[in-house]
Structure 1
Amino acid sequence: MRTIKLGTSNLEVPVIAVGCMRINSLSKSEAERFVRTALDEGANFFDHADIYGGGACEEIFADAIQMNDDIREKIILQSKCGIRKGSFDFSKEHILTSVDGILKRLKTDYLDVLLLHRPDALVEPEEVAEAFDILQSSGKVRHFGVSNQKPMQIELLKKYVKQPIVANQLQLSITNATMISNGINVNMENDSAIDRDGSVLDYCRLHDITIQPWSPFQYGFFEGVFLGNDKFPELNQKIDEIAAKYNVTNTTIAIAWLLRHPARMQPVTGTMNIERLKDCCKAADVYLTREDWYEIYRAAGNVLP
């Protein structure tokens, strides 16, 4: 599979990340087959979080892949921490404790990437810096990033944290594209011009932070998928038309739309369906034309000024 550098690091990663949030919905044999399929497709970057399945997803993944030293060298593991029941927690103690739990469940000595999951209003960046230093010096974490953070939150971290922020995982799909729309509708009197994220797309491009779109098929906040949905007839008609042009599925086109953006994003899949995973991976080889990209953008209800 085609690869990119993750942020400013030298870590080569596939352009498709395999999200493991729902792997606890699979049987043992299904999970094993799912992981094998991902590896066969060249999708060896696996995204986790300590809250997925209450930690069970990391355990199931480690068993499914039959984790050992040989396997570990062939995969890239990312996990996230910072969400607790009823609160967010970026304290030094919580980060360190969380990482130890993640490593134990994944049956590994280190994470390739650790992301801070959702912004903690009570964050003390000095504590985050101390935690990152300990994790890096101990060899437990090699690269660091964030999730769902806007530019000034990242800047605050960077004032204290010496490690580069290599990734920012953000909600982005064809139907959830406000970070793109506000850059098109500059100074316009419409809802699309509203800057809800501090120009995070431009910020990440300027600072070579890889954007990892999560829920690339969702509309709203986990309201459902837009593909094949009667709520989006024009969009689905256009996606199906372009899918036929490239002889791929609508799933492939939805991911290819994200990959076409010059920000060099790394979409995170969420499907546990093997065929859909394969379709996601095929997007790495599809390069939409400018006309294709804008036609899909407009079909989603986005209006050009």
Structure 2
Amino acid sequence: MKALPLQSHGIAASRLAIGCMGFGGSWDASEPYTAAHMKQLEEAVDAALSIGINFFDHADIYTRGKAEAMFGELLAARPSLREQLIIQSKCGIQLADGELPGRYNFSKQHIVASVDGILQRLGIDYLDILLLHRPDPLMEPEEVAEAIHTLKASGKVRHFGVSNMHSAHLQLLQAAVSEPFIVNQLHMSLAHRHFIDQGLLINRNEGSAVSFDPGLMAYMQMNNIQAQAWGPLAQGRYTGAAASDTTEAEQLAAQYIAYLARLKETSKEAILLGWLMKHPARIQPVLGTTNAARILACQDAERQAELMTRDEWWTLYATASGTHNPGIKSV
């Protein structure tokens, strides 16, 4: 398969990434993480490394900074790890605090201070990639450009990107910022198919319910921007997690995924991710699981993307969309 867009920017990133939002214990800042949480993190990192995953995705808000602090503790205990890893983090979201609501902040002061906090918690000198987490309606592109110039010149951040933004955001920012934005992290999975629906449902009534910038996937492909997918495993809805609100279409898709996994002698997770990774945008799934065994179950995903036929891809899409029954009775 073709190289990831990240690799063309000189970043030796793995095909899969690990999302670190689930580490650090609870989101209550007063509850510290425990030895059990550290053990879970170490097992997850070792599982990832054992199957070639070297990319770890953070954000300054994850468990209110505890996810980064835990990861920093692991790096301090095993300093040789740092140069093996690609470390990405995000800033720009301010959580509700006291009388203040949740809000977004792309001011120069906030971005620069956020990076200093990220580096301190992780115990490292630089980030490989910094993402601006969600669009700030009060954003001044020139001020963002100043922040990025400061961070780049100081060596604190090597590359930059965004998360949850459409093509107009990217174009507005890129017009002011000399550094290229090389990543956009978005919610994409078989369960969250808007990135596919927006193209298929053009000029159809069903398309009115689709929430996805219709030009975004093409824009990223044309501008060599890495599409990263958060939530790619769909919280286990197709691979075994019991959910009281599972739809008939999801149940049928889960049956078809299980059938393909048995047929191809692989895991259900590999089939589910393979569907996503077959897209020509070279999507990089960011696995949100903290479970080492489930990380290991994803190791065959790239191969399954290569092996998946067009008919299998379309059958999965149509079944998950509720427009097709693949006729799989049992596995």
1:201 match: 217
Distance, in Å, in 1 between the alignment partners of 2:303 and 2:321 is: 27
Secondary structure of the 2:124 match is coil
Deviation of 1:67 (Å)? 5.7
- In 1, Cα distance between equivalents of 2:313 and 2:208: 18
Identity of aligned residues (%): 41
Residue 279 and residue 24 in structure 1: after superposition, are their counterparts in 2 closer, same or farther (change >3 A)? Answer: same
What residue is the counterpart of 1:275 in the other structure? 293
Residues 102-153 of structure 1, C-alpha deviation per residue, up to 9 Å, x if partnerless?
0011110000000000000110111110000011111000000000000001
Pick aligned residue for 1:51 from 55, 61, 65: 61
Aligned to 1:128: 144
Q: Which runs of 5+ in 2 are unaligned?
A: 26-35, 96-101, 325-331
- Deviation of 1:50 after TM superposition, in Å, equals 0.1
Q: What SS does the aligned partner of 1:73 have?
A: helix
The 3-state SS of whatever aligns with 1:144 is strand
Partner of 1:27: 37
- Runs (4+) of structure 1 exceeding 6 A deviation are none
Which deviations, in whole Å up to 9, do the C-alpha atoms of 1:194-245 show, x marking residues without a partner? 46324211111111111100011237xxxx7343354221111111111112
Which position in structure 2 is the counterpart of 1:38?
Answer: 48
2:178 is the alignment partner of 1:162: yes
State the secondary structure of the residue aligned to 1:300: helix
Q: 1:110 to 1:67 in 2, by over 3 A?
A: farther
The residue matched to 1:62 in structure 2 has which SS? Answer: helix
Equivalent positions of 1:10-159 (< 5 A) are: 10-25=10-25, 27-66=37-76, 70-85=80-95, 86-159=102-175
CA spacing shift, 1:181–1:13, aligned 2, 3 Å: same
* TM-score normalised over the length of structure 2: 0.85
Go from structure 1 to structure 2 and tell me whether the alpha carbon gap of 1:192 and 1:202 turns closer, same or farther (over 3 Å shift).
farther
TM-score by length of 1: 0.92
Question: Does the residue aligned with 1:202 lie in a helix, a strand or coil?
Answer: helix
Find the partner of 1:298 among 315, 318, 326. Answer: 318
> CA RMSD for the aligned pairs?
2.0
Post-superposition shift, 1:188? 2.2
- Distance in structure 1 (CA, Å) of the matches to 2:106 and 2:261: 43
- Is the alpha carbon distance of 1:121 and 1:175 closer, same or farther for their aligned partners in structure 2, counting shifts above 3 Å? same
Q: Of 266, 269, 283, which residue of structure 2 is paired with 1:251?
A: 269
The residue that corresponds to 1:190 in the other structure is 206
- 1:189, 1:155 → 2: CA distance? 29
Assess if the C-alpha contact under 8 Å between 1:23 and 1:57 holds in 2.
yes
Distance 1:67 1:48 in 2: 19
Give the 3-state SS of the residue equivalent to 1:142 in structure 2.
strand
Q: Give the paired residue count.
A: 299
State the Cα distance separating 1:90 from its structure 2 match: 0.5
- Give the distance between the partners of 1:7 and 1:83, measured in 2 at CA: 28
The residue identity in structure 1 corresponding to 2:258 is D
30-39 vs 78-87, which moves further: 30-39
SS in 1 for 2:299: helix
Checking the alignment, whether the CA contact within 8 Å between 2:75 and 2:123 is kept in structure 1 is: no
Deviation of 1:69 (Å): 5.2
Q: Give yes or no for contact 1:23–1:31 (8 Å, CA) kept in 2.
A: yes
Cα contact 1:90–1:128 (8 A) shared by 2: yes
Equivalent in the alignment of 2:260: 242
- What does residue 218 of structure 1 align with? 234
SS in 2 for 1:39: helix
Partner Cα separation in structure 1 for residue 80 and residue 230 of structure 2: 29
Runs of 5+ consecutive residues of structure 1 not aligned to the other structure: none
Partner of 1:289: 309
